[in-house]
Amino acid sequence: MEFFSYLVDFVLHIDVHLFELVANYGMWIYAILFVVVFCETGLVVTPFLPGDSLLFASGVVAGTGHMGYVEVMGVLLAAGICGDAVNYSIGRRVGPAIFSRDSRFIKKEHLLKAHAFYERHGGKAIILARFVPIVRTFAPFVAGIALMCPRQFFSYNVLGCFLWVGGLVSAGYFLGNLPWVRENFGIIVYAIVIVSVLPVVIELLRARFGKREDVPQELRNPFERESDGK
């Protein structure tokens, strides 16, 4: 419980914690940022790690001169691209076995929803998912399960990461140190968190109060469909 309490406090006061990390660890802050973003995008068991707010706050800290803007951009771009690439590779290797059953950490229902998202939007899912927590973590994994063309995935992976990292870090860097932003930084972080999780909340409410429907046949486990066709 202490870990999750710290995680919530870290997200809600991420600017304060980042300044503390810079003061305590110096250049190692770049390694810390890389690990957090890599795990958030690359491991299907850590979708709870901060993403959007961390990128924005990193830009803010860079804007004060405590970190380099170019260095922050480079590290976070590398982390996001490598994270999705690893997640995709895991999906190609072990996805079919995990997709067929629930595990302690991974719910089949979550995978089916991510698969439905991928089926509806095709390759654009990799780009759009960058801006949706939880889906951001599962989309590359499902792309691996679906055996998406590696070259096509890499293109969408890189483009989506540039839009995600570049947009949020740059917003923090250029806007984060304006007087009105500094005075209301906590509110802005709350807003980023709310906007980030809003699609997930809407989906949960729809699932809770909407008409319950079975997962359409075309959105079920693709490997089951292959078996049925044999």
Residues of the chain below pLDDT 50: 212-223, 225-230
Q: Specify the pLDDT at position 117.
A: 62
Q: Specify the pLDDT at position 226.
A: 44
Structural contact between residues 158 and 127, judged by C-beta atoms closer than 8 angstroms = no
Q: Specify the pLDDT at position 111.
A: 63
Phi and psi (nearest 5°) for 104? -65, -35
Q: Specify the pLDDT at position 79.
A: 96
Exposure class string for 153-180: b at 16+ Cβ within 10 A, else e: bbebbbebbbebbebbbbbbbeebbeee
Token digits of residue 82: 């490598």
| Long-range CB pairs of 62-71, under 8 A, 24+ apart, other chains included | 62/169, 62/172, 62/173, 63/172, 63/173, 63/174, 63/176, 63/177, 64/177, 66/19, 66/22, 67/22, 67/29, 67/30, 69/169, 69/173, 71/30
Q: Specify the pLDDT at position 154.
A: 92
Q: Specify the pLDDT at position 77.
A: 97
CA separation for the pair 65, 92 (Å, rounded): 41
CA separation for the pair 2, 114 (Å, rounded): 30
Q: Specify the pLDDT at position 13.
A: 63
Q: The tokens 């305590």 sit on which residue? A: 24
CA separation for the pair 190, 181 (Å, rounded): 13
